[in-house]
Amino acid sequence: MKMVCGVGRHAVCGLLAGWVMVSGWMPVAGEEPAPVAPLVVVEQADEPGVWSAVLWYLPNRVMDLVDIVRLRLKVGPGFGMTARATDFAAFYAGSQKTAFIGLPGPRYPDTFRYPFGLEYQRGLVIAGVDASDERPHPPRYGFSEVDIGLHLGIVGAEIGLDPFEVADFLAGWLLMDLRGDDYPRKRVELPEHGRVMSHFIAASEHDTTNRPAVFSGTQERLDYLAVHVPNRLQSQMQSFDARFAGEGDPVLVHPPMDELTMGLYTRTLVGKKTEIELKPDVNLDVDLPNLERRVSLFVESSSSDDLPGRDKLEREDDGWTVGARSKKNVWDISTDVGVRAKWLPEVFARAAWKPTWAWGAWKWNFEQRVFWESDDGFGELTTLGAVRWFADKRWVYRQITSGKFTEASDGYEWEQSFMAGRAIKLFDESRRAAGRSIGAGDAIAGYGLRASVFGSDDNTDQYRLLATYRWDLYRQFVIGEVRAGPQWRDSEEWDTEARVDLGIELHF
């Protein structure tokens, strides 16, 4: 059994994305922010004398070392999952009342944290926007902490690391206290109640707008997140983009967020052996009108240079991609440039020619893409697709022929896919009206069948037949997806494997 989460790479992206996110927090226009809880102010003790500094030197280094890691076992009723890469990329879902033992993580602004205690939390946190309840014994995470945790039924575990505490530990040997937590210092009384996102050091008025102390249920949490996640990102992007307005040019505010989706997908394969894979997926595309008024910022959590028939679970997990995309396409040519956040970040660039034309009731799409990565060198991707709508544009048929070659690959990869389905409702109904090509991700509700063949050079590697069903779980915000069917792979000696994919997506 195999479980793949890609948490490390997602944590790296969170650290890089923080550079953009810290541009600014703003409340939503037209809304009055709720009162913000007073921040915890740490009163520094009098400057220690020479002998005091000498006596506390080694104990402080030990405490700084312990602050770096959170490693705990938990016992208590509930279910919950935590994944965070700083406060800006923090996620939580669950409800649990637990007792823990182990390394408690960063102690600041507290004076001392015991290696045991109680911890209560309930609610949802997405991209650092907190829709959890105020409860006693809240978790106390460091602002820059990278962490993952899972609690199932009655037992759980959590592991994390705080990069800022690493810097504080190293600087401490040079008598520099970056965190301000060295002894001796005065004891701090922290609030008895709190949420999953403590915000004891820094808080955002935007995050507290119209937020109750206790949510009435899941629907109220989802409604809160549906409004405040994009608004928080929008305001941060607006502040970042305003810096690029030219001298004398008007500042264009509220850049439109073309796309923001977050998903969690699982794949189960049952054959000679059973495989289970879990993978998150995030896509963000937002215009930056003041940056030369022709560039958008995009974030992808999986490679988009793979064959188009590879789904989110099959695409190469090369780390998060953060880059800029041209918006004024000359001769149907688009260009991207950016950084891919692997363990060792790499630079990438790509250009694509994407002409389209009509032939009777058929719409044809061609793409010739060339790309370069600092680690893997050059590559190219060629795709020819055709689409036709019929039955009063309720049903759609698509076919795709695609091939890919890279300097790092052993040969030429190719794909041939055929798709037919019923599009009950689309996010953008203008695509149906114009007879444009759509994929499963464009549908709020619908069903279809896809047959695909994959290979390399003159060899066939895989046959696959999958039925897909998508439906609206909650107000076109939460979308469910199920894919199921057989597949046959050369690597598994062509034995029949039953495949079931489950996915849940948030569309902001």
Asked if 67 and 202 sit in the same domain, the reply is yes
In this structure, the number of other CB atoms found within 10 A of the CB of residue 466 comes to 21
Three-state helix/strand/coil letters over 296-313: EEEEECCCCCCCCCCCCC
pLDDT of residue 82: 94
pLDDT of residue 281: 80
Judged against a pLDDT cut of 60, whether residue 334 lies above it is answered with yes
| Residue-wise pLDDT tens digits, 241-263 | 555 555 555 555 555 555 778 88
Q: What pLDDT digit, counting tens, does each position of 388-398 carry?
A: 999 999 999 99
Residue 34's pLDDT is what? 39
Q: What confidence tier does 373 reach under pLDDT thresholds 50, 70, 90?
A: confident
Burial class of residue 413, CB neighbours in 10 A (0-12, 13-18, 19+): buried
Does residue 67 register a pLDDT over 80? yes
pLDDT classification of 410: cutoffs 50, 70, 90? confident
Among residues 171, 202, 218, the one where a domain terminates is 218
Asked if the structure places residue 164 within a domain, the reply is yes
Residues 130 and 194 in one domain: yes
Residues 336 and 436 in one domain: yes
Q: Give me the CATH number covering residue 357.
A: 2.40.160.40
Are 352 and 491 found together in one domain? Answer: yes
Instruction: Read off the pLDDT band of 366 (50, 70, 90).
Output: very high
pLDDT digit string, tens, across residues 416-446 = 999 999 999 999 999 999 999 999 999 999 9
202 confidence band (pLDDT: 50, 70, 90): very low
CA angle 344, 347, 350 (to 5 degrees): 145
The confidence band for 271, taking pLDDT boundaries of 50, 70 and 90, is: confident
**Residue 15 falls inside a structural domain:** no
Supply the pLDDT for residue 308.
85
Residue 21 lies in a domain: no
Whether 238 is in a domain gets the answer no
Q: pLDDT at residue 289 above 80? A: no
Mean pLDDT is lowest, of 27-41, 51-65, 109-123, 489-503, for 27-41
- Minimal CA–CA distance to 146: which of 159, 156, 136, 157? 159
Q: What is the pLDDT of residues 126-162, one digit of tens each?
A: 988 999 999 999 998 988 899 999 999 999 999 999 9
Q: Are residues 250 and 383 in the same domain?
A: yes
Same domain, 393 and 502: yes
pLDDT for res 33: 41
In angstroms, rounded to a whole number, what is the distance separating the alpha carbons of residues 254 and 251?
Answer: 10
- Maximum Cα interatomic distance, the chain, rounded to a whole number of Å: 89
Within a domain: residue 229? no
pLDDT digits (tens, 9 = 90+) for 93-107: 999 999 999 999 998
Task: Tell me which of 50-64, 171-185, 196-210, 479-493 is least confident.
Answer: 196-210
Pick from 349, 262, 334: nearest CA to 296: 334
Could you tell me if residue 12 is inside a domain?
no
The token pair that represents 486 in the structure block? 């057989």
Of the residues 168, 202, 218, the one at which a domain ends: 218
Pick the closest to residue 348 from 326, 329, 322 (CA basis).
322
Sign of CA dihedral 428, 429, 431, 437: positive
**Are residues 206 and 299 part of one domain?**
no
Distance CA 473, CA 444 (A): 9
Lowest-confidence region among 149-158, 368-377, 476-485: 368-377
Has residue 1 been placed in a domain? no
Is the pLDDT reported for residue 5 higher than 60? no
Q: Enter the pTM of the model.
A: 0.77
User: ∠ CA(92), CA(96), CA(99), 5° rounding?
Assistant: 115
Q: Are residues 274 and 317 in the same domain?
A: yes
Domain count of the chain?
Answer: 2
Distances in Å between the Cα of 151 and the Cα atoms of 116, 154, 195, 434, 506 are 17, 7, 18, 48, 23
Are residues 89 and 129 both part of a single domain? Answer: yes
pLDDT at 324: 78
Same domain, 179 and 285: no
* Mean pLDDT, residues 339-361 taken together: 84
Q: Could you give the 3-state DSSP secondary structure of residue 194? A: strand
Q: Count CA atoms closer than 13 A to 13's CA, side-chain side.
A: 30
For range 286-312, the mean pLDDT: 69
What is the pLDDT confidence band of residue 112, given thresholds at 50, 70 and 90?
A: confident
Q: Are residues 289 and 203 in the same domain?
A: no
Question: Residue 192: what pLDDT?
Answer: 84
Tell me which of 218, 233, 254 is where a domain ends: 218
Helices (H), 428-496: 430-433
Question: Within a domain: residue 10?
Answer: no
378 and 269 together in one domain? yes
Say what the pLDDT of residue 88 is.
83
pLDDT of residue 15: 36
Name the residue with higher pLDDT: 7 or 384.
Answer: 384
Q: Which domain holds residue 111?
A: 26-218
Average pLDDT of every residue of the chain: 82
Per-residue pLDDT band at 330 (split at 50, 70, 90): low
Tokens found for residue 342? 């692997």
